[in-house]
Amino acid sequence: MADLEFYLGTYTASPGGGIHHVRLPGALPDRAEIRLVAEARSPSWIAALPNSRILLAVEEVEESDRPQLLTFRLGQGRLTRTGATALPGSHPCHIGVHSVLPLAVTAHYSDGSAALWHIAPDTGTASLLQRLQLSGNGPNMHRQEGSHAHFATFIEDGGCLATTDLGGDAVHFFQLEMGDRPKLVTRQRLGLPSGSGPRHLVAGSDRLYLVCELDEKIYMLDRRDGVYRVAEALAPFGTAAVRDGSLSALKLSPDGRFLYVAGRNQSAVAWMAVAPSGDLHLCGQIDCGGHQPRDIAIDPSGQWLIVANQSSDSLSLFRLDQHSGAPERIAGTINISSPACILYPDGWPTLLMVGQCADE
């Protein structure tokens, strides 16, 4: 059986934590090999710049602690830090990268802002191009006192950026214009139901799927005449009243046939079949093998699902049935402190398990 390899961003309460490389020989959790490859302060989201050897990470710390956008170059079996650039926001929690252009967008949770960056593919140098400020609030006074930019992703073949505002119950769409200098131009603000708390979204073949953290629903968004609208909604863990919703990651299988979502309140993963029409059909749910799953990831082959259980300091591995999409738990637990983000850098060179972390 093939080995599995991926990168992991973690929350760090003390020095010595950061970005790890994880290898599972024979896809067996009990044989996990874990190596710290780059020290960083709570790199809760990591991303690979396409067509390069550059890895990006944000430090999810408050503004007074001066969060940074970190860049690393992969080579000689190690990650070498190439840059550390101050971020214009507080508690950055996500990075969206363009599929073709050397562009990235960071989302800053606490102050509800986002920033567009040019990333040099050879050196990893980050240059700020534009800062965006969201504005809004919602009925949940503990979670929605103001805008909270939680996620940013390029859609429509890279021509549009979608940013979720958990605090303002909205998804903001920006047109990417190139010209002499790339810039994002406001196109649409899509309001969601009051108190829903939009968190993450993924693009299917004909529609967008949006997971809302606070009302624990998935919304299906259709685009008509250039405008996005809510088509339908589905509650993957049931329709009972939610007091303090906490859905987290949302991932689509590589073939687009199944959608997976993690529920932190339920400590479970639910999966849905995607019909040819784009409609979702709830298939079931399974215990995630830990507590409070913050992120989930599917390997490029579509055969394996990894769950990052933040509160139980562990990772769980599942084999995905290629016909039904059902996850089957593989025995064993991978122990690691506060896992936050899993990255399968599809098409990247494999990180050899030699050498030590380089932080120059």
The string of DSSP codes covering 73-94 is: EEETTEEEEEEEEE-SSSSEEE
State mean pLDDT over 73-102: 93
Least confident range of 108-112, 182-186, 212-216, 341-345: 341-345
Region for residue 141 given its phi and psi (left: phi exceeds 0; alpha: psi -120 to 50; beta: otherwise): alpha
Sequence-separated contacts (24+) of 318-322 with Cβ below 8 Å: 318/269, 318/286, 319/27, 320/253, 320/258
The pLDDT assigned to 206 comes to 87
CB-CB contact of 293 with 318 (8 Å):
no
CA angle, residues 287, 290, 291, in degrees to nearest 5: 100
Least confident of 23-32, 45-54, 229-238, 342-351: 342-351
Q: How confident is the model at residue 357 (pLDDT cuts 50, 70, 90)?
A: very low
Question: Residues 233-269: pLDDT tens digits?
Answer: 999 999 776 778 999 999 999 999 999 999 999 999 9
Q: Considering the entire predicted model, what is its pTM? A: 0.94
Go through 22-41 and write b for each residue having 16 or more CB atoms within 10 A of its CB, e for each that does not: bbbeebebeebeebbbbbbb
Q: Which residues contact 323 (CB under 8 A, 6 or more apart)?
A: none
Q: How high is the pLDDT of residue 51? A: 87
Question: If you average pLDDT over residues 321-334, what whole number do you get?
Answer: 97
Q: What is the CB neighbour count within 10 angstroms for residue 2?
A: 12
Considering only CA atoms, give the Rg of the chain: 19
Give the count of beta carbons closer than 10 Å to the beta carbon of residue 192: 24
8 Å CB contact between 169 and 138: yes
CB-side exposure of 23: number of CA atoms within 13 Å?
12
